[in-house]
Amino acid sequence: MSRLFSVFVAFVASFLLIGSAQAEVKVLTSIKPLQLIAAAVQDGVAIPEVLLPPGASPHNYALRPSDVRKVQSVDLLYWIGPDMEGFLPRVLNGRTLPSIAVQDLPGMKLRRFAEDSHSHAEDADEHDHDHRPGTLDAHLWLSPVNARVIADKMAADLSAADPANAERYQSNAKAFDQRLDALDQRLKQRLASVEGKPYFVFHEAFDYFEEAYGLKHTGVFSVAAEVQPGAQHVAAMRKRLQEVGKTCVFSEPPLRPRLAETLVAGLPVKLAELDALGGYTPATAQGYEQVLEKLGNDLAGCLESL
């Protein structure tokens, strides 16, 4: 009897383990910042996956067959929306499980590109992501306010899909919110000394972060990271750099634009990087904060060194 009972207990235990494994909710995000927010919410339960590899552009990524299979099979998929990942809508049309475009969430604080942000449009080909005046600025993850909204939505979705861990998801979301409060204070202190200092960016990707911390870039060299500005615009921007004097020009990894060195040659200008995506940041509970803190430190560090 004892042996039969032991066998029975082992069977029940293995059944429960299998059931637990099957209950794990598979989360996929389109880009790294969303993965980092999901990692904060899922901390201690699971690690979310991300679709785009480091260095890939969310505007025009080419999906592999394995990517398409992953998109179709995961339980929850989060993406910014068609204003950012233009390659995704066609694939999502065949998906039956939940797909959440975070740009459509209630409570999101969204920006739109202004008239003066597109003065260089004549130099670019037409792109869905070419920052036309009035179109949505989809770099919305760089706002801590929006990150809170996204985390709350993820916690609600995960709690519904995985009730056994609902308390953990809600607790993680609350802890994330508290850490963002602390991060917000650190960034305000860090960036206060460079408020009002002029700087330039190659790609207009940082307006949400700038708005949150009282900053504003002086000029933009390209409509998108993948688009090279024309000669007329380059000449105009070099003249603007000469007028400003000591300043920083920020590109985005992984590649510095080819014209960067030519643009600043002979001028008191420093070239530096700002990483809006944090592509190589580990998917940990603190990953999102690390991306924003590094962004603030890199921006302030260059401007303070002038």
Handedness of CA 179, 184, 54, 63 (dihedral sign): positive
Cβ-contact 38, 78 below 8 angstroms: yes
Q: Got the DSSP string for 230-265?
A: PHHHHHHHHHHHHHH-SEEEEE-SS---TTHHHHHT
The pLDDT score that the predictor gives to residue 25 is: 96
Handedness of CA 215, 112, 81, 226 (dihedral sign): negative
Nearest to 198 by CA among 210, 186, 212: 210
State whether residue 129 is helix, strand or coil: coil
- Name the pTM for this structure: 0.87
Q: Got the DSSP string for 1-49?
A: -HHHHHHHHHHHHHHHHHHHHHHPPPEEESSHHHHHHHHHHSTTT---E
Q: What is the pLDDT of residues 157-186, one digit of tens each?
A: 999 999 999 999 999 999 999 999 999 999
Residue showing tokens 């330039």 = 200
Distance (Å) of CA 123 to CA 95, 119, 220, 228, 229 = 38, 9, 13, 8, 6
Q: What is the pLDDT of residues 193-225, one digit of tens each?
A: 999 999 999 989 999 999 999 999 999 986 555
CA distance 69 to 125: 32
* Distance from the Cα of residue 164 to its chain's centroid: 29
Q: What is the pLDDT of residues 94-145, one digit of tens each?
A: 899 999 999 999 999 999 987 555 433 333 333 334 566 678 999 999 999 9
The pLDDT score that the predictor gives to residue 228 is: 65
